[in-house]
């Protein structure tokens, strides 16, 4: 199974590599006065997410979207805000701008539902990515691109069982994020042991570390910590070390630190949802819709994960994480 996962990871990364190379070459041609790879109008596509600057995950999403935009002769506009009300205002600004396509995350769908539906009703094709899969059709989106978060969590629970774990902590760093709650729900669905949710202030890594340290010091039965984002995995490793805990650390998502952790054993496994694909495919699908009125998914999610990756995969992943595409 590990061999199959590694083969798929490498093959998909290879596809990203080819697309990335073409996009980089296209950037060079455009800088030299050349044209895009397609002979279509210069459409404008906007992406509005619930997170952004300084988050390695969203850097990868944005990179994929930008590279697809170069290939497709798209003017790509990116904005984000971790406050759901502000994110809704950013969406409204793109509606007022009359963009040709909209990509949006629904981490907090109640705050976004009306404005995203407004965009769809205005004739702006909408694709949702990453968060809010269950709400995508309700807001009029043509497709949702990402991983099924409950399914991803179930994969984690199964992996914990196979590793003989008995008590785990799910480290929730953003209260109200439906995707994060779904991940923990999925773990509970399949994990034979006990799972506790630990809510922490994700805006402050020192606070995250101290909260987890306190939990691990007070409950020595905890033998696993499940981080819900790559930047929090390294913090969880430090917290376990400071607490003198033998708890193993697992995480959702990848970055170079996670790959290093997989390599040295500090992180036991990671769940990759391939953010580069989420950004790249969202732009590419909107271009295809504008150009040919076609759309993938048939009303079902276009899945980019999950993939369980371990230390056996670290060497193959390192080149792609260093490049910023995994």
Q: Quick one: 168 and 246 in the same domain?
A: yes
Among 70, 72, 79, which residue's Cα sits nearest to residue 97? 79
Per-residue pLDDT tens digits for 195-241: 999 999 999 999 999 999 999 999 999 999 999 999 999 999 999 99
Cβ pair 255, 61 in contact under 8 A: no
Cβ pair 69, 45 in contact under 8 A: yes
Q: Does position 2 have pLDDT exceeding 80, yes or no?
A: no
Domain of 110 in residue numbering reads as: 2-147+275-295
Please give the Cα distance from 81 to 86 (Å, whole number). Answer: 6
DSSP string, 50-63: S--TT-HHHHHHHH
SS3 252: strand
The CATH number linked to 107 is: 3.40.50.2300
Cβ pair 37, 73 in contact under 8 A: yes
The total of other beta-carbon atoms located within 10 Å of residue 13's CB is: 21
Q: Does position 16 have pLDDT exceeding 60, yes or no?
A: no
pLDDT score for 7: 41
Q: Quick one: 36 and 139 in the same domain?
A: yes
38 pLDDT tier (thresholds 50, 70, 90):
confident
36 pLDDT tier (thresholds 50, 70, 90):
confident
Number of domains in the chain: 2
Task: Decide if 313 is inside a domain.
Answer: no
Q: Poorest-confidence range of 235-244, 245-254, 261-270, 314-323?
A: 314-323
Q: Quick one: 7 and 119 in the same domain?
A: yes
């Amino acid at each position: 199974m590990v061999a199959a996962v590694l083969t798929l990871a490498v093959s998909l990364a290879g596809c990203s590599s080819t697309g990335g190379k073409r996009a980089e070459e296209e950037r060079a041609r455009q800088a030299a006065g050349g044209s895009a790879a397609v002979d279509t109008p210069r459409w404008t596509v906007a992406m509005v997410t619930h997170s952004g600057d300084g988050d390695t995950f969203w850097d990868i999403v944005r990179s994929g979207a930008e590279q697809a935009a170069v290939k497709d002769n798209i003017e790509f506009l990116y904005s984000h805000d971790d406050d759901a009300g502000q994110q809704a205002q950013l969406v409204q600004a793109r509606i007022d701008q009359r963009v040709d396509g909209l990509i949006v995350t629904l981490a907090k769908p109640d705050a976004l539902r009306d404005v995203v539906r407004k965009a769809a009703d205005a004739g702006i094709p909408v694709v949702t990515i990453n968060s809010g899969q269950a709400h995508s059709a309700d807001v009029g989106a043509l497709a949702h691109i990402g991983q099924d978060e409950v399914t991803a969590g179930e994969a984690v629970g199964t992996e914990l069982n196979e590793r003989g774990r008995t008590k785990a902590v799910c480290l929730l760093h953003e209260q109200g994020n439906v995707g994060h709650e779904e991940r923990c729900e999925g773990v509970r669905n399949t994990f034979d042991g006990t799972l506790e949710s630990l809510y922490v202030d994700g805006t402050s890594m020192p606070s995250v570390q101290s909260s987890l340290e306190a939990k691990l010091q007070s409950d020595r039965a905890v033998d696993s910590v499940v981080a819900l984002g790559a930047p929090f995995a390294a913090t969880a490793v430090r917290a376990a070390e400071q607490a003198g805990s033998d708890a193993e650390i697992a995480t959702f998502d990848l970055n170079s630190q996670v790959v290093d952790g997989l390599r040295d054993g500090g992180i036991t496994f990671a769940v990759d949802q391939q953010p580069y694909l989420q950004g790249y495919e969202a732009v590419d699908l909107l271009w295809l819709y504008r150009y040919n009125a076609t759309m993938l998914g048939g009303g079902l999610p276009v899945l980019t994960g999950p993939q369980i990756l371990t230390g056996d995969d670290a060497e193959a992943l390192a080149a792609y994480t260093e490049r910023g595409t995994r």
